[in-house]
Chain A
Amino acid sequence: MILAVASGKGGTGKTTVAVSLAQVLGSRVQLLDCDVEEPNDRLFLDGRRRAAQVVSVPVPRVDVSACDGCGECGRFCRFHAIVAVQGPPLVFPELCHGCGGCILVCPRGALHESPRRIGVVEVVDAGKVTLVEGRLDVGAALVPPLVRAVKAHLAGDRPAILDAPPGRSCAVVETLRGADAVLLVTEPTPFGLSDLEQALAVARALGLPCGVVVNRVGIGDGRVQAFCRENAVPVLAEVPDDRRIAEAGSRGEPLLDALPEYRGLFQSLLEKATRLAATGSGLS
């Protein structure tokens, strides 16, 4: 079973939910931090780094002696990463998505693949939780290939929790793809509702079963819950607005270690999410 934890808005509590779910799972579990631009699951887990892997994308290198400046490569590239305006093409590696198309269309065989590093993936053993963390290099902008590299560590023989980036970007789509269910974490504010609507649209476009976790219940209003009723998306858990949760987070303490009384709430969430993943519907 693969559960993805996502949200339209940042700072709603994805990491809190993802780490807590990993902790209440009875068996060995993989926790994949796919928020590679700002991974933070590791702040809450003590463990030993077992493996590290550098992730690269292939970018074109121009053999100037073989190039006749025909410009086919530049006409092919949708991302303007290789530009032929006069003479041999100019390459902008930071714009390149590594598709290799320019190399295929070059009639002179003047382009070759050369690896460009974008980040690392590290594996940390923290008790029964195996954390796989992707970390994008400073200055690198290409996120989806790094998310794919994190997800390549999915073992398949044990449950996995995917901690997604916020928003509805390519990186989010890459994270959610292939999940058995998506838990959308939101807060009961107009801002939370607006971003929930967008995140739900992405998850539904991918055909994934969705449930909502409303965090900080007690602030804002009831519009998130009303929206969920109207759109037949189940609210799987409501986490109260409890200052102690924020304080534990700011100390880098997992919520369930600091406040064990919340264990039942997350156990119930896990059961409902498991049912959602198994049946494609959280409506019992």
Chain B
Amino acid sequence: MKLALTASGETLEAPLDPRFGRAPRFLVFETDTGAFEIVDNQAGVDAAHGAGVQAAETLARLGVRGLVTGHCGPKALTVLVRAGIEVYNTDAKTVAEAIEAYRSGTLVAAEPA
């Protein structure tokens, strides 16, 4: 399945960006093969309002099933959950650490309030 992570850089060693809607890019990781692609999120960085909702729409279009990030706001979370995407918050320092945390099964899916 496709797992999205908010990334500051373009490699697995890149720092995990703690923001969801305004992260510069998403690293979309294929959990079955270990392959990944980079999806630019400049539109979110530049958005005046609604960056989180816009990013959630982007992930839904990509067919992502899970998201690991630092923090995701309530509107974006509502859209992600509606799209069937599970959201996990973590304070992991890098994308690779976040993937490890996800695989270890210790992360708890966020629920809309």
Instruction: Report A's interface with B, CB cutoff 8 A.
Output: 74, 79-81, 83, 85-87, 90, 92, 95, 141
One digit per residue, 1 when the CB lies within 8 angstroms of any chain A CB and 0 when it does not, for chain B 1-27 equals 000000000000000000000000000
A79 touching B83, Cβ below 8 Å: no
Instruction: Report the Cα distance A85→B84, complex, angstroms.
Output: 9
Residues on the A chain within 8 Å of B78, using CB: 90
A83 touching B84, Cβ below 8 Å: no
| Whole-angstrom distance between the Cβ of B86 and the nearest chain A Cβ | 14
B82 touching A86, Cβ below 8 Å: yes
Instruction: Report B's interface with A, CB cutoff 8 A.
Output: 49-50, 53-54, 56-57, 60, 75, 78-79, 82-84
A83 touching B53, Cβ below 8 Å: yes
| Whole-angstrom distance between the Cβ of B77 and the nearest chain A Cβ | 11
A86 touching B53, Cβ below 8 Å: no
A85 touching B50, Cβ below 8 Å: no
B57 touching A90, Cβ below 8 Å: no
Tell me whether A81 and B50 are in contact in the complex, defined as CB-CB below 8 angstroms, given that A74-B57, A92-B75 are known contacts. yes
Residues on the B chain within 8 Å of A86, using CB: 60, 82-84
Q: Determine the residue in chain A with the shortest Cβ distance to B84.
A: A86
Tell me whether A80 and B82 are in contact in the complex, defined as CB-CB below 8 angstroms, given that A92-B75, A95-B49, A95-B50 are known contacts. no
B79 touching A90, Cβ below 8 Å: yes
Q: Which of B50, B60, B84 contacts A79 (CB 8 A)?
A: B50
Residues on the B chain within 8 Å of A92, using CB: 50, 53, 75
A79 touching B57, Cβ below 8 Å: no
| Whole-angstrom distance between the Cβ of B53 and the nearest chain A Cβ | 4
Instruction: Report the Cα distance A154→B87, complex, angstroms.
Output: 50
Across chains A and B, which 10 residue pairs bring their CB atoms closest together, nearest first? A80-B50, A85-B83, A80-B53, A85-B60, A95-B50, A80-B54, A83-B79, A85-B82, A92-B75, A86-B83
